[in-house]
Chain A
């Protein structure tokens, strides 16, 4: 226990550019999480609508796609894309992007990482959205139809807004998971916070005069960074849930899942 709190072991924080280096890495994780979430929401919605389609073939294919991606380990998907995708894709990215984006995004591998994160999370979001929509009483859809609203209008004006509102807690929960999952991209050689921390821990005399970080404290620090950000997100989600309950007046049945495993009733 003494080892943990010994101030000697925490000196590295104020030494040299250690802290700045680690935080720069952390920024990469946050940025990737946000970008992946935005795209996952878009594609997730499209997938969910496909799954709910009345066309049996479309629904089946969407369902199969979702089930396959949701049941594979994310790390596996990331490695698969990084190692097995054709290179023209990565080259095209690098030409397109040049120096206009932060360093970590200039390498073509970021495409593999983002692609993997988006494909996986869009499948998860699709299920969350479907659960939200399905949980809405059938009455809503039928009432809309009785009022003469065609399918798409009833979707857009009645079903989706209410259904999607119900899945906000699950969505924030998934964003938290996504935040954590961004550390996996270190395994496909993207310079994010874990890689930066490793460098600081394994420092060497080539690098000048500063204090090396002991691993326990360094990784605890990184862990705390994540815990803080994720805690803030979950507090936000709780506030949103309360607001929802106040706004609609009814007790909202929130759809939450453990670790991206939300399953809507089949």
Chain B
């Protein structure tokens, strides 16, 4: 286990560059997941059976397909079919759309938790179904969805490693770690520091969720 600190100091640039890239991947994927997930969640919660169906197909497809296969479909498959995306865009798109399925399910159960009473009351006050969903039910549903969102962010941080390990060749923490490990022939020490990096990220996400929960409880 010699060189433990030497590995970190000699390669700090590479480690931190990878760390920051992972952060960027997670941020962008999170934004995509929230946007698309809310949309699909809305579809799932809508009274119309047809919209429900569409939402269900999305969720079942993206929840049951491995992320790595999705990456190959989007980056390799679509490129051959004429749609070329940059590695970063393809990666965040995949991770975002994939996670969106889970966001959608969260929001759907959040909507049902809000209760039918709210829905009926709004309708009797003259809101249309669309307005009710958008202005009354969804905002409340989103609040019940905060704790799972924290878990979801942690899952995204972990899944981002898949982006770096695939043919996207995005220089995230994992890929840079492998390059450092290879060049220095010091696998244990390098992986130790990469692990620390990931634990910092997931730890930060956990703490952020706890803080958010407390603040929202007080608000109510």
Q: Which residues of A contact B (CB under 8 A)?
A: 3-4, 68, 71-76, 79-80, 83-84, 176, 179-184, 186-187, 194, 201, 214-220, 222-223, 226-227, 230-231, 234, 257-263
Contacting pair A183 B68 (CB below 8 A): yes
A-side interface mostly: helix
A234 to B66, CA, bound (A): 15
Show 16 residue pairs from A and B whose CB-CB distance is below 8 angstroms, ordered by the A residue.
Answer: A68-B199, A72-B195, A76-B174, A84-B187, A84-B191, A180-B66, A184-B68, A216-B78, A216-B80, A223-B65, A227-B61, A227-B64, A258-B105, A258-B155, A259-B151, A261-B155
Residues of A within 8 A of B80 (CB): 214-216
Known A176-B63, A257-B151, A258-B105; 4 more pairs at CB < 8 Å:
A71-B199, A75-B161, A201-B76, A258-B102
Instruction: State in angstroms the CA–CA spacing of A85 and B61 once bound together.
Output: 36
Interface size class of B (residues with CB under 8 A): 35 or more
Contact A73 B198 (CB under 8 A): yes
- In this complex, the member of A75, A187, A194 whose beta carbon has the largest number of chain B beta carbons within 10 angstroms is A75
**CB nearest neighbor in B for A257:** B151
Q: Are B60 and A216 in contact (CB under 8 A)?
A: no
Bound-state CA distance A260–B157 (Å) is 13
Q: What is the chain A residue whose CB lies nearest that of B160? A: A73
Chain B positions within 8 Å of A223 at CB level? 65-66, 69-70, 73
In the complex the two chains form, what is the Cα distance from A119 to B16 in whole Å?
Answer: 28
For A71, list chain B residues within 8 Å (CB): 154, 158, 198-199, 202-203
B71 to chain A, nearest CB (A): 9
Q: Is the CB of A219 within 8 A of B76?
A: yes
Once bound together, how far apart are the Cα atoms of A84 and B186, in whole Å? 9
A216 to B76, CA, bound (A): 7
B61 cross-chain contacts in A, Cβ below 8 A: 227
B170 within 8 A of A: no
Which residues B49-94 have CB closer than 8 A to chain A? Answer: 60-61, 63-70, 72-73, 76-78, 80-82
Picked from B65, B82, B152, B161, the residue with its CB within 8 Å of the CB of A76 is: B161
B165 engages A79 (CB within 8 Å) = yes
Asked if B106 is an interface residue, CB under 8 A from chain A, the answer is: yes
Minimum distance in angstroms from B83 CB to a CB of chain A: 9
Asked if B136 lies at the interface with its beta carbon under 8 angstroms from chain A, I say no
Name the B residues within 8 Å of A179 (CB-CB): 66
Output the nearest chain A residue to B105 by Cβ-Cβ distance: A258
Give the chain B neighbours of A3 by CB distance below 8 A.
81-82
Q: Does B194 contact A (CB under 8 A)?
A: yes
Instruction: Tell me the minimal C-beta distance from B170 to chain A in angstroms.
Output: 13
Task: Determine whether the beta carbon of B152 is less than 8 Å from that of A187.
Answer: no
Known: A261-B151, A261-B152. A216 touches B106 (CB 8 A): no
Q: How far is the CA of A187 from the CA of B77 in the complex (A)?
A: 19
Q: Is B162 an interface residue (CB 8 A)?
A: yes
B14 within 8 A of A: no
A72 to B76, CA, bound (A): 27
* B59 smallest CB distance to A (angstroms): 11
Shortest CB–CB separation between residue B191 and chain A, in angstroms?
Answer: 5
What is the CA–CA distance of A71 and B155 in the complex, to the nearest angstrom? 8
A76-B198, A219-B73 known; A194-B68 Cβ under 8 A:
yes
A37 to B78, alpha carbons, bound, how many Å?
A: 34
Note all chain A residues with C-beta closer than 8 A to B174. Answer: 73, 75-76, 79
**Do A258 and B66 touch (CB < 8 A)?**
no
Contact with A along B188-217 (1 / 0, CB 8 A): 100100110011001100000000000000
Cα distance A219–B94 in the bound complex, in angstroms: 14
A75 to B105, CA, bound (A): 25
